[in-house]
Structure 1
């Protein structure tokens, strides 16, 4: 689906990839309904993207009742919606399963999986009425390979992966295209927005020069949507780990464990 002239909803639009997605979609001729829980961040994105091309929606995507009201709110401003990019997500503190509090686990699953599910179910009936439409859900390379200390983040993103692939199978032959996106390391505010402050998260900044920019990641994502790709890998790390995991899952996981241990030394 070409994005020019389309109305597209983007979650997590206040910062990082969501902000870059909004800016680039507007540059390509789309109008964007920006969804985020942080009003100040939405205001900043609106200034960068162009206020006449966007609308601001302060929404907690884990609140199903609020999400279910969103389609009519967006349509009242823009008209019919043509696309949905479920980008919003959080990571967990770098804590092992045995030590992680249930409240944190539930928050990660609620934002990453249920938020994506609620948004998808809310907008899908209207998308099916459009001449052409698209749903793109952002999983992660953690959605196909686990990282120690991020088990529930990976589990939530694996759920997004299967949800999206299941949607593809159900919607094949309809007017709605479906894409699952697996970003690798991208320079965003996900740690800050996830309320993290751990040695491992600080250590990860040592490799910041190797991290893909949010601008480049957004370009790859939009290109994948316009080409109606089934699956989009964002970054050399995601591509390399995908190949390795397919070849030898145990070897891939062992490599990740070794790399993570070296990061926190």
Structure 2
């Protein structure tokens, strides 16, 4: 779906890839509704956009299904229609094993990553089916198809996003609504800080690392994939490589990522 002159909702629009998705969509002529729980982040996105009149910001807790439903009804009433939803918002867990992870931490990760995506999708789906063309983009993760030690609950939440999105794609094949599933690899974003795992943001070294996908590059690839109506794709060299390796030999890939992650500090 071409985004020019379309009304598109982006979750997690107050920082990182979400902010870059908002800015990229604006540059392509879309009207964007940036959703986040962080008011300061949304204000900063609006400032960076140059106070763009085609950018609307809304504070929404995507884990609250009533709040999500109200937001959807309200924004559709205000704008007349919504053409696309990009479910980007997400958090990670502490890098610890499942045996040491608290149930409350697991609940939080699942609520944001899976149920937040599900609530937003459900809130707009029937409306999108009335549009001449609609699009849902769900951001999963490399951790959604490959087990990453210390991120079992995060991976489970993204695997749930994966299968839900694949099922939705199948259900909507004969409709006017496109579905896209994206698997990013490691990215230079403040996800640890935004997940309240640290007070530190992404370092300059991480920002300049050739191994980490930059948020603006990720956003560009996601929007290009959306405009080409791609079903599912990986972004980032690590995601592409591990997707291939895991499809060829899951056991070897699992042991390999275990060795690699075991040498990293988190």
Q: TM-score, normalization: structure 1? A: 0.95
Q: Deviations over 1:91-134 (max 9, x none)?
A: 00011010100000000000000000000000001100000000
Q: Deviations over 1:235-256 (max 9, x none)?
A: 1110000000000001001011
Equivalent residue number for residue 25 of structure 1 = 25
- For 1:1-265, what aligned pairs fall within 5 Å after superposition? 1-49=1-49, 50-197=51-198, 208-264=209-265
Q: Distance in 2 between matches of 1:230 and 1:100?
A: 34
Q: CA deviation at 1:75?
A: 2.1
On the 8 A contact 1:11/1:88 being kept in 2, the answer is yes
Q: Deviations over 1:13-49 (max 9, x none)?
A: 0000100000000000000011000001001111222
Structure 2 residue matching 1:179: 3-state secondary structure: strand
On the 8 A contact 2:188/2:207 being kept in 1, the answer is no
Q: Structure 1 residues 264 and 186 mapped into 2: Cα distance closer, same or farther (>3 Å)?
A: closer
On the 8 A contact 2:13/2:34 being kept in 1, the answer is yes
Structure 2 residue matching 1:232: 3-state secondary structure: strand
For the aligned residues, what is the CA RMSD? 1.8
Greater Cα shift, 64-73 or 74-83: 74-83
Greater Cα shift, 41-50 or 213-222: 41-50
Q: Deviations over 1:129-163 (max 9, x none)?
A: 00000000000000100100000000000000000
Q: Distance in 1 between matches of 2:6 and 2:249?
A: 41
On the 8 A contact 1:7/1:81 being kept in 2, the answer is yes
Greater Cα shift, 164-173 or 71-80: 71-80
Q: TM-score, normalization: structure 2? A: 0.95
Q: Distance in 2 between matches of 1:75 and 1:206?
A: 37
On the 8 A contact 1:138/1:182 being kept in 2, the answer is yes
Alignment: residue pair count: 262
Q: Distance in 1 between matches of 2:88 and 2:78?
A: 22
Q: Name whichever structure is richer in helix by fraction.
A: 1
Q: CA deviation at 1:220?
A: 0.4
Structure 1's consecutive aligned runs of 4 or more residues displaced over 3 angstroms after TM superposition are 204-209
Q: Structure 1 residues 206 and 252 mapped into 2: Cα distance closer, same or farther (>3 Å)?
A: farther
